[in-house]
Amino acid sequence: MPDEINDLRVFAQMVDAGSLSAAARQTDGSTAAMSRRLAALEKRLGVRLVTRTSRRFELTAEGALFHERALAILQAVDDAEAEISAQARVPQGLICIGAPSEIGRKQIAPLIEAFSAQYPEVEVRLVLSDIGLDVIDDNLDVALRIGLPPDTGVIAKRLLSSRRIVCAAPDYLARCGTPHTPAELAGHDCIRLVRGQRVFDKWMFQEDGRRREVQVRGTLSTASGEVLHDWALKGRGLALKALWDIEDDLREGRLVECLAPYHCDEIELYAVFANRRHLSPRVRVFLDFVEQAFRERP
């Protein structure tokens, strides 16, 4: 395709100059080279484009039509290059971001507000879901997800890590008591997270320098992180939550950390995107913005 576009430019220069020799002078080439380019173009098209004599250089009917179409194509190419170059200088256009519901609402939505204020030419669409979003299947520019994606054909950039803690509302602890060891969870009502057919009813702890898996039970389970959080706030049971989801509740006393001496497993937030080499400017500045924002978190 580049050769064909170049042929169109050379032909347009010939017509604009009015002769092969004039076109050659304008392009610092030779008349013979111009003649060969024109002959090769006519051979490829299978028609004569120009009637040439020692004094005259006139377009045939086919040449006039080809010249008209060539000018339109060249203008479209120039416009496209100018538009893309402008976007590279000033990011613009639509970017689609996917995120889990709770962290999306609490952490990502405020960042998008700040990003939009800094880059007003970029339109941001935020998709929230507690079912794992796929950057390809869900037509997303960036998918923010917990844990590494199973697809090795995408790029994953770690943004944030957080320890998980067992927590409960003061009302629940007043009624049911506070567990002091992971083993005591067996006697408590634990709210469990569900993903598809899998129930996350095995909670991991570090005890005496070793990882220990504890089976938990309870009357409530849900696929929604936000519903689980709400049930914990209402005193319906113990919950295993990422610290980033409940920092405000712990600070203001709506939730209380349990089993603090026992380290639970950590979770990580990743930004997943399709191809690092061909990121659009708007996606690149969004990733840089979010990464910087999380890096500056206290």
Pairing of the two strands 221-222 and 122-128:
unpaired
Shared domain for 76 and 214, answered yes or no, is no
Distance CA 135, CA 297 (A): 26
Whether the pTM exceeds 0.85: the reply is no
Distance CA 288, CA 295 (A): 10
Distance CA 268, CA 93 (A): 29
160-211 pLDDT, tens per residue? 898 899 999 999 999 999 999 999 999 999 999 998 788 989 999 987 778 8
Domain assignment of residue 135, given as a range: 93-159+268-295
Shared domain for 147 and 178, answered yes or no, is no
217-259 pLDDT, tens per residue? 999 999 999 999 999 999 999 999 999 899 999 999 999 999 9
Distance CA 191, CA 281 (A): 43
Shared domain for 168 and 247, answered yes or no, is yes
Are 192 and 199 within 8 A, CB to CB?
yes
132-164 pLDDT, tens per residue? 788 888 889 999 998 888 777 788 999 989 889
Shared domain for 246 and 218, answered yes or no, is yes
Shared domain for 261 and 290, answered yes or no, is no
CATH of the domain at 177: 3.40.190.10
Shared domain for 165 and 235, answered yes or no, is yes
Give the dihedral sign, CA 117/246/236/172: negative
Residues 6+ apart with CB under 8 A from 146: 100, 103, 267, 268, 269, 270
Shared domain for 117 and 59, answered yes or no, is no
Shared domain for 39 and 66, answered yes or no, is yes
Residue corresponding to tokens 């538009």: 83
CATH of the domain at 36: 1.10.10.10
Shared domain for 101 and 241, answered yes or no, is no
Counting Cβ atoms within 10 Å, is residue 160 exposed (0-12), middle (13-18) or buried (19+)?
A: buried
Neighbours of 98 (CB within 10 A): 24
C-beta pairs of 214-218 under 8 Å, 24+ apart in sequence: 214/182, 214/183, 214/185, 214/186, 215/186, 216/185, 216/186, 216/188, 216/190, 216/192, 217/186, 217/189, 217/190, 218/188, 218/189, 218/190, 218/191, 218/192
Shared domain for 179 and 153, answered yes or no, is no
Are 279 and 88 within 8 A, CB to CB?
no
Please state the domain count of the chain.
3
Q: Which of 49, 64, 89 is the last residue of a domain?
A: 89
